Amino acid sequence: MTKQWKSLTDPQWAAISPFFDLKRKRKHDLPQIINCILWLLRTGCQWRNLPDAWPHWQAVYYYFDRWKTDDLFERINATLNEMDRKRVGRMGKPSLICIDFQSVKLSPMINEERGLDPNKRVNGRKRQFVVDTEGRLWVAHVHAANEADGPTGCTMVSSIMWRVGERLEKLYGDQAYNGVFAEELARWSIDFEKAARPESSLGFVPVAKRWVVERSIAWTNFFRRIIKDYEYTVSSSVNWLYLANIQIMLQRIP
């Protein structure tokens, strides 16, 4: 994990450039726009406080909003995940994935999808992460923190099958998903296995196959923009999570 922001290298830009229309003439350089967005993600800066040497913040936000609406970040994320898996000698799509959630505080004066998680005592939102066995984020979902994990996770099943259903055989999760969510997976012929620490144990205990999703959640601490939820819409929140994984995958390109 690289803690410092670095501008895109030529190989990194070459990996994602096929997703952009490079033939039309533009006022702004697209690699620079991507650099601005990834810099915002890493530093947690407000849009309006982008350095003067870079394009105006409204221009950068225009591209972010447009690409978010077109699901571009999600598609780039899935492609980079496949590339990274093949780089280490694996098949492009995983056969085993893990799911878990993270409760985060929501910035004041934002009421969309806000709730209180009574267990974690967090007033804000929940993020649900679906990762493979090496921690790559494949599907993310954000909702109010007071909503139950299992029933809300059912809305993710179609997205999971769309992104990784080609080889998917089993999904690991904790007790919160061992109900309607597991039943929904069974309809798609996907096995659900509850991964939890022994009841007699105290403190943190690494659980086989599940600790990787906990590590992926911990990686969000390296990106100040997503340490707390500052977004007015959950779609923006989801796309910043994809961008964090995109930056991790790009850093692995030599």
Residue 47 lies in a domain: no
Residue 4 lies in a domain: no
Give the pLDDT of residue 6. 87
Residue 205 pLDDT greater than 60, yes or no: no
Structural domain boundaries enclosing 178: 94-229
Give the pLDDT of residue 125. 95
Residue 168 pLDDT greater than 80, yes or no: yes
Residue 206 pLDDT greater than 80, yes or no: no
Determine contact, residues 130/209, Cβ cutoff 8 Å. no
Residue 201 pLDDT greater than 60, yes or no: no
Q: Which of 221, 217, 174, 222 is nearest to 199 (CA)?
A: 174
The rounded distance, in Å, linking the Cα atoms of 4 and 198 is: 38
Residue 25 pLDDT greater than 90, yes or no: no
Give the pLDDT of residue 209. 67
pLDDT of 99-152, one tens digit each? Answer: 999 999 999 989 899 999 888 899 999 999 999 999 999 999 999 999 988 888
For residue 49, give both structure tokens: 């406080």
Return mean pLDDT, the chain.
Answer: 90
Backbone angles phi, psi at 192, to 5 degrees: -115, 130
Residue 74 lies in a domain: no
Backbone angles phi, psi at 67, to 5 degrees: -70, -35
The rounded distance, in Å, linking the Cα atoms of 187 and 245 is: 29
Residue 112 lies in a domain: yes
| HSE of 113, CA atoms in CB hemisphere, 13 A | 21
SS (H, E, C) the chain: CCCCCCCCCHHHHHHHHHHCCCCCCCCCCHHHHHHHHHHHHHHCCCHHHCCCCCCCHHHHHHHHHHHHHCCHHHHHHHHHHHHHHHHCCCCCCCCEEEEEEEEEEECCCCCCCCEEECCCCEEEEEEEEEEECCCCEEEEEEEECCCCHHHHHHHHHHHHHHHHCCCCCEEEECHHHCCHHHHHHHHCCCEEEECCCCCCCCCCCCCCCCHHHHHHHHHHHHCHHHCCECCCCHHHHHHHHHHHHHHHHHHCCC
pLDDT of 71-90, one tens digit each? Answer: 999 999 999 999 999 999 99
Backbone angles phi, psi at 252, to 5 degrees: -85, -10
Give the pLDDT of residue 100. 92
Look at the chain and report how many structural domains it folds into.
Answer: 1
Residue 142 lies in a domain: yes
Give the pLDDT of residue 204. 56
Q: Which of 131, 130, 152 is nearest to 143 (CA)?
A: 152
Q: CATH number for the domain including 132? A: 3.30.420.10
pLDDT of 45-69, one tens digit each? Answer: 999 999 999 999 999 999 999 999 9
Give the pLDDT of residue 17. 94
Give the pLDDT of residue 238. 97
Which residue would you say has higher pLDDT here, 101 or 200? 101
